[in-house]
Amino acid sequence: MRCFIAIDIDDNIRSQIGRVQRKLREMTGLTRPDVKWVDPALIHLTLKFLGEVRDADIAEVCSIVEDVADNHKGFSIDVAGIGTFGTSARVLWAGIESNDTLFALQKDLDERLCEAGWGGDKKQFSGHLTLCRIKNPRAGRILKNMIKDYGDLNLGSFSVDSICVYKSELTSSGPIYTTISRSSLQ
């Protein structure tokens, strides 16, 4: 099954993200097939994408996540700013303010999973919440230009008290995420 490990965001942040998405959609008129807006109910902070994991290995993944969670305290995350990834703007995101506790948690998780055979990430972790995936270079230019005024936007903060292992099913109507395990932080 296709899996990832993530932190859930709270309803207030989801609401703020939905508001920003609606405003950007209205201002730009961008919809499918140029962009695919992420349903705010599905937005999460991905710590590690595992890809395909054999059913027989899920218990080990969940055990590693639980061990990592047991070694980290709960903390708060500030969500601020909007930006893009890629020179031709392939992803529009809401930023996660620099947070040493989050980076330590993600690094510990990545190292433990790497030791168990789920390769380490090649690129440095960049905490973000994906607002939309951009399919068309013209749409990327429009969004990149539009968000110049959103660099200092503060969407609020939320408390992190657990990390989750999710199963991800890709369907024609969008992804379906199912919680496999939730591990509480100290």
> Which residues are annotated as catalytic?
44, 128
Q: At CA 66, angle to CA 57 and CA 109, rounded to 5? A: 80
How far apart are the C-alpha atoms of 39 and 37, rounded to whole Å? 6
How far is CA 55 from its chain centroid? 23
| Cβ–Cβ under 8 Å, residues 156 and 91 | no
* CA 34 from centroid of its chain's CA atoms: 21
Q: Which helix (H) or strand (E) holds 66?
A: helix 58-70
Q: Which of 50, 125, 49, 45 is nearest to 77 (CA)?
A: 45
The two tokens of residue 170 are: 């890709």
How many contiguous H segments (helices) and E segments (strands) does the chain have? 4, 9
Q: Indicate the residue type of 181.
A: S
